[in-house]
Amino acid sequence: MGACLGVCSLLSCVSCLCGSAPCLLCGCCPSAKNSTISRLLFTFFLFLGTLVSVIMIIPGVEKELHKLPGFCEGSGSVLGVQTHVNCRSFLGHKAVYRMGFAMAAFFCLFAVLMVCVRSSKDPRAALHNGFWFFKFLVLVGITVGAFYIPDGAFTSVWFYFGVVGSFLFILIQLVLLIDFAHSWSQLWLGKASESNAKGWYAALCTVTFVFYAASIAAVALLYVYYTKPQGCTEGKALISINLLLCLIVSVVSILPKIQEAQPHSGLLQASLITLYTIYVTWAALANVPVQSCNPTLLVRNSTSTATTAEAPTTWWDASSIVGLVIFILCTLFISLRSSDHPQVNKLMLTEEGGSGPGPGEAAEPGPHRAYDNEQDGVSYNYTFFHLCLLLASLYIMMTLTNWYRPDESLQVLSSPWTAVWVKICSSWAGLLLYLWTLVAPLVLPDRDFS
């Protein structure tokens, strides 16, 4: 919280934080759209909350959270049941959940306020694109209030909100990944056909080979570390099923009928989807609550006394770090650009934008070089954008806590099977979605999928 207030005091020196988004550029950046700057600033708020969450689960900081007034008191009433729980063992988990609740509440508030905003002429658009200092104060206020939420059933109920929100955000990630893969392939194939240079084809083949090689190596490691010759049937089945599904979509992507309907489809997209699917499988296996089948399983109990010398538990593991990186990239992707594909723009409720100000969108004179590009209509759906950030805040909350929750005895933070199946189902949904993008032109020949 001290870091947040320090940033707040720094921002208070900038008078234009009480105005619109364009003035934030202050002539330091090239001409940019008002809509892009607003999205970046809201994304900055999300990243700031994520940074605070990461700081709170650092072992050295987590041990000091019990000093927050009222935060540790009442922890003996977990899920409404009085127990003898060492509060200090769960402080990092509690802090991340409350920070996630604060960010979700903040973006939910703006999602509701921005319903049916059609253009920047709507008075609510000024609230969306300006008053950043006051928005920051609102976020800090909600965060402070969230830390005084009594335990009761909060952790249990909010866990399921996090599960649902994370599943939806993983689906959004998959849509963005598929769109990115198609755009990447079209770009390189287009350059290869324009310049008639074999270098682009060589680069395409090299990247595809690297993705498939990494996927095969990852599958081998999953079999080695997350399965045993005897037992671990679930892990063996999940790895094998996803490997088979990845093989199927790879073969389908190069079938003659598919190539005829979609000349730009190929193994580059399939290899990227395969690599991501193997990552999601790894993340799912890292939540299997069986120690013998999951060497990365973390066990955090609260039965030890305050005098017991325990090695501090680090909440994040390798899969969580990769998930954090993917979260950052996808969130920036949502904030910075629209898709090259009209179908994706329609799905994500965005529009393709030009590279400069159009009629009626003159750039502001002087040092302020951003311009209002939404006078005739918004370039993205404000409510949907805030809902995406809401889901992202829930996803990062679950990622930072490894999807763990207190068990029925209220003595151990454990990984439930719920986390495993949510991640596996999301990987299947992603593969089905990619498969649909391949076969849709054949199933619906009357529709334009160009």
CB 96 within 8 A of CB 316: no
Instruction: Compute the average pLDDT of residues 148-152.
Output: 74
DSSP 227-280: --SSS-HHHHHHHHHHHHHHHHHHHHHT-HHHHHH-TT-SHHHHHHHHHHHHHH
> What pLDDT was estimated at residue 10?
45
Per-residue pLDDT for 48 more than 80? yes
Quickly state the pLDDT bin for 66 (edges 50, 70, 90): low
CA gap 14, 134 in Å, rounded: 12
- Give residue 187's Cα distance to chain centre: 25
Per-residue pLDDT for 362 more than 50? no
| Other Cβ atoms closer than 10 A to 102 | 24
pTM above 0.85, yes or no: no
User: Among 32-46, 63-77, 300-314, which is the least confidently predicted range?
Assistant: 300-314
Q: Which residues, in sequence order, are CB contacts of 329 under 8 Å at separation 6+?
A: none
> What pLDDT was estimated at residue 73?
55
Per-residue pLDDT for 77 more than 80? no
User: Among 22-26, 69-73, 241-245, 302-306, which is the least confidently predicted range?
Assistant: 302-306
Greatest C-alpha distance within the chain:
73
User: Among 73-87, 164-178, 316-330, 418-432, which is the least confidently predicted range?
Assistant: 73-87
Per the prediction, the chain carries an average pLDDT of 75
The full set of domain ranges for the chain reads 13-71+88-151+341-349+376-401, 177-297+415-449
Look up residue 197 and give its DSSP letter.
Answer: -
Quickly state the pLDDT bin for 330 (edges 50, 70, 90): confident
Instruction: Compute the average pLDDT of residues 183-208.
Output: 80
Per-residue pLDDT for 440 more than 90? no
Rg (the chain; Cα; Å): 24
Distance (Å) of CA 443 to CA 343, 386, 436, 440, 448 = 16, 34, 9, 5, 12
> What pLDDT was estimated at residue 58?
79
How many percent of the chain have pLDDT more than 70?
69
Angle at 290 between CA 285 and CA 292, to 5 degrees: 95
Quickly state the pLDDT bin for 220 (edges 50, 70, 90): very high
> What pLDDT was estimated at residue 363?
47
The larger pLDDT score, comparing residue 6 to residue 172, is at: 172
Which of 38-47, 172-181, 286-295 holds the top average pLDDT? Answer: 38-47
For the stretch 225-254, pLDDT in tens is 898 888 888 889 999 999 999 999 999 988
Amino acid letter at 153?
A: A
Structure tokens at 395: 């996803």
> What pLDDT was estimated at residue 101?
93
Strands 405-406 and 412-414: antiparallel
User: Among 283-297, 349-363, 425-439, which is the least confidently predicted range?
Assistant: 349-363
Choose among 265, 83, 276: nearest CA to 174. 276
For the stretch 161-189, pLDDT in tens is 999 999 998 888 888 888 888 888 888 87
The larger pLDDT score, comparing residue 436 to residue 372, is at: 436
